[in-house]
Amino acid sequence: MRVRKARLQDATNIFELVNSLSGDGTLLKRQFAEICENVRDFTVAESETGVFLGCGALHLYGPHLAEVRSIVMTPGAKGKGAGGRVLKALIEEAEEHGIQSVCLFTRIPDFFFRFGFRVVEDKAELPDKIFKDCQSCPRLHRCDEVAMVRGRIPRVSILGPKHEAEQLVRIG
């Protein structure tokens, strides 16, 4: 198995896999153009013969925070270490950028505990994530995801005042 940065040729596989889990709200639906524009955020896992196994993305908010997002493996790759290898590569990438705080929202927190993530009780402590994605999420007012962070919770936000994020989360 190989883990590498995604190339534009991977956009179709990423798009299809991510959107295969958007119908039930597991992942946010992404447009093909959005995947193409952000393909450099993605890391992919592939078999030794080049078969696409899964992907994950690292979204950079700034020097204070990055987010692991769209991490998903094909059904045949689950339980074989591909997800862990992609996640490790994304964490290493954040560290290469000097970012010590990495967040994510998930319904499977147990997987991420093994990689040093911990639960963030108040999602409003991650306002950059709230302002970036939560308003467009179909589950905005009934969010069932667990917010997690690896490293310290950032003390700054670039996408909006922290108190506005707190209000947005508390509305739900």
Lowest model confidence (mean pLDDT) among 8-12, 76-80, 114-118:
76-80
Binned at pLDDT 50, 70 and 90, residue 29 comes out as: confident
User: Tell me, what DSSP letter sits at residue 79?
Assistant: T
Token couple for 160: 């909006």
All domains of the chain in start order, with CATH: 2-171 (3.40.630.30)
Lowest model confidence (mean pLDDT) among 5-9, 15-19, 104-108, 122-126:
122-126
Question: Per-residue pLDDT for 122 more than 50?
Answer: yes
Cα(13)–Cα(53) distance, rounded to whole angstroms?
Answer: 9
Cβ atoms within 10 Å of 61's Cβ, excluding its own = 22
Cα(159)–Cα(168) distance, rounded to whole angstroms?
Answer: 13
Backbone angles phi, psi at 43, to 5 degrees: -120, 140
Mean pLDDT of the residues in the chain: 85
Lowest model confidence (mean pLDDT) among 18-22, 36-40, 83-87:
18-22
- Residue 172's pLDDT is 37
Token couple for 1: 């198995």
Question: Per-residue pLDDT for 151 more than 50?
Answer: yes
Binned at pLDDT 50, 70 and 90, residue 145 comes out as: confident
Cα(145)–Cα(84) distance, rounded to whole angstroms?
Answer: 20
- pTM here is 0.85
Question: Per-residue pLDDT for 143 more than 80?
Answer: no
Cα(37)–Cα(44) distance, rounded to whole angstroms?
Answer: 16
CA count, 13 A, side-chain hemisphere, 28 = 19
The answer to whether the beta carbons of residues 70 and 39 sit under 8 Å apart is no
